[in-house]
Amino acid sequence: MYAEKWNARITDLRKQVEELFEKKYAQAIKAKGPVSIPYPLFQSHVEDLYVEGLPEGIPFRRPSTYGIPRLERILLAKERIRFVIKKPELLTLTSPEVIQPRSNTPVKEDWNIRITKLRKQVEEIFNTKFAQALGLSEAVKVPYPVFESNPEYLYVEGLPEGIPFRSPTWFGIPRLERIVRGSSKIKFVVKK
């Protein structure tokens, strides 16, 4: 039940943020009605295409990558958000060159390799700590939805400050690194 409500809420918030971004982007390029955003262009041309007014600590990306707290903060700041297009000509080019400039490709690949490795590391930490809480020596896959719907019986102590417990796929590199660094303090609590 809780998981269903959470899913409906996050889906609705993501839709609202997507619509907000599309509306603001349309204003920036003087288009009528919402316009689909070329996210890869914004990621590969950060000097010439960017977004101002996002709440502090929230980078501009696809709404599907944000969790509920960030989505809510973005919606609260909607009046301040605006797209800055310094080189409109970038938006009219659709060659693969523009979408993935050669100079940025290795950086993007490094980032993907790095985040995948960190997520795997955090997943292993969580699985091992969960097994310890159950009194087992072999790692056990963490049933995240069960933790979300039973916070009074299943919870995690010792996570770095400001980091909620959820599947590692939710976290970006900075949070994953903080979890790995603080892994010795992390403890799973299973009351039932």
pLDDT digits (tens, 9 = 90+) for 159-174: 998 888 888 888 888 8
Answer yes or no: is 98 within a domain. Answer: no
| Residue 172 shares a structural domain with residue 111 | yes
Q: What is the pLDDT of residue 3?
A: 67
Answer yes or no: is 111 within a domain. Answer: yes
The residue segments making up the domain with residue 126 are 106-190
The whole-chain average pLDDT of the chain stands at 84
Q: Which one-letter DSSP state was computed for residue 141? A: -
Domains contained in the chain, number: 2
| Residue 70 shares a structural domain with residue 35 | yes
Give 100's pLDDT tier (boundaries 50, 70, 90).
very low
Query: Cα(108)–Cα(129) distance, rounded to whole angstroms?
Result: 31
| Three-state SS annotation for 15-84 | HHHHHHHHHHHHHHCCCCCCCCCCHHHHHHCCCCEEEECCCCCCCCCCHHHCCHHHHHHHHHCCCCCEEE
Q: What is the pLDDT of residue 20?
A: 94
Domain C-terminal end among 86, 114, 137 = 86
Query: Cα(52)–Cα(45) distance, rounded to whole angstroms?
Result: 15
Q: What is the mean pLDDT of residues 123-137?
A: 93
Q: For 13-67, what is each residue's pLDDT tens digit?
A: 999 999 999 999 989 988 877 778 888 888 888 888 899 999 999 999 989 888 8
| Residue 17 shares a structural domain with residue 67 | yes
Query: Residue 65, Cβ neighbours under 10 Å: how many?
Result: 13
Answer yes or no: is 92 within a domain. Answer: no
| Residue 141 shares a structural domain with residue 178 | yes
| Residue 76 shares a structural domain with residue 120 | no
pLDDT at 106 over 80: no
| Residue 116 shares a structural domain with residue 75 | no
Q: Which of 114, 144, 145, 140 is nearest to 125 (CA)?
A: 140
| Residue 12 shares a structural domain with residue 56 | yes
pTM: 0.49
DSSP H or E stretch at residue 160: none
Q: What is the pLDDT of residue 97?
A: 39
| Residue 70 shares a structural domain with residue 121 | no
